Amino acid sequence: MKKLKLLVLASGGGTNLQAIIDSIEQGKLNAEIKVVVSNNSNAFALERARQHNIKAIHLSHKMFTTPEEFDAKLLSILKENEVNMIILAGYMKMLSPTVVRVYKNRIINIHPALLPSFGGPGMYGIHVHEAVINSGAKTTGVTVHLVDEVYDHGAIVLQEAIPVLDSDTPETLQQRVLEIEHKLYSQAIQLFAEDRIEISENRSFIKKNPK
């Protein structure tokens, strides 16, 4: 198995990016972040990358006349950096079907709820946790899933559940969910690093650890 060379896409603070950087530096995750790309020039995620000597690129659709030109640029960055896996970490844009096709089964996203519940358009950030609390659900959690052409839809790779407490506000729930995200995302990427994820008919399976 070739070593994982990652491109991380992030739009915001980048705490998931930071958790991945930390896991790599602590030797828990066998991968290298080649480049971090953000559609938002002020994203702290770009600053986190720079602080760890990782290439940081601002790339937005607004810089191009057509979506195809944006895709061509992103694909050229992926190629130049020999990226073999794309990690979405709080990226607020959808990748085009073109990019999804080129990196089929090699793009993952993290979602702060148990998909297929509380996903889809509009379900991002604090809105997810508001919806969970308003629904009366007693359990929520984190989902790492493959990215396909449909929002929050691809095969589920890993999930972890946590209870919703009667005392929870959307903010306290968001915080507890985020702590799980930071652990689960690196675990999921490590499964790819060990070549242990098998995908069949929109389901993903974890192969036993080859000893």
Binding site for ligand GRF (CB under 6 A): 10, 12-16, 89-90, 110-112, 178, 181
Closer Cβ to ligand GRF, 16 or 23, answer by number: 16
Smallest distance, ligand GRF to C-beta of residue 207, A: 26
| 111 counts as catalytic | yes
Closer Cβ to ligand GRF, 70 or 91, answer by number: 91
Residues 6+ apart with CB under 8 A from 55: 34, 35, 36, 49, 81
Task: Please state whether the peptide bond connecting residue 116 to the residue before it is cis, i.e. omega within 30 degrees of 0.
Answer: yes
The DSSP bridge partners found for residue 87 are 8, 108
Give residue for tokens 């969910």. Answer: 177
Cα(91)–Cα(107) distance, integer angstroms? 12
Closer Cβ to ligand GRF, 10 or 158, answer by number: 10
Task: Write the Ramachandran bin of 120: left for phi over 0, alpha for psi from -120 to 50, otherwise beta.
Answer: left
Question: Which among 52, 58, 61, 111 is annotated as catalytic?
Answer: 111
Residues 6+ apart with CB under 8 A from 129: 112, 113, 140, 170, 171, 173, 174, 177
Residue with the CB atom nearest ligand GRF in the bound state: 90
Structure tokens at 121: 């358009």
Closer Cβ to ligand GRF, 99 or 112, answer by number: 112
Structure tokens at 199: 């995908």
Closer Cβ to ligand GRF, 34 or 48, answer by number: 48
Give residue for tokens 């499964």. Answer: 191
At 6 the three-state DSSP class reads: strand
Q: Which residues are catalytic?
A: 111
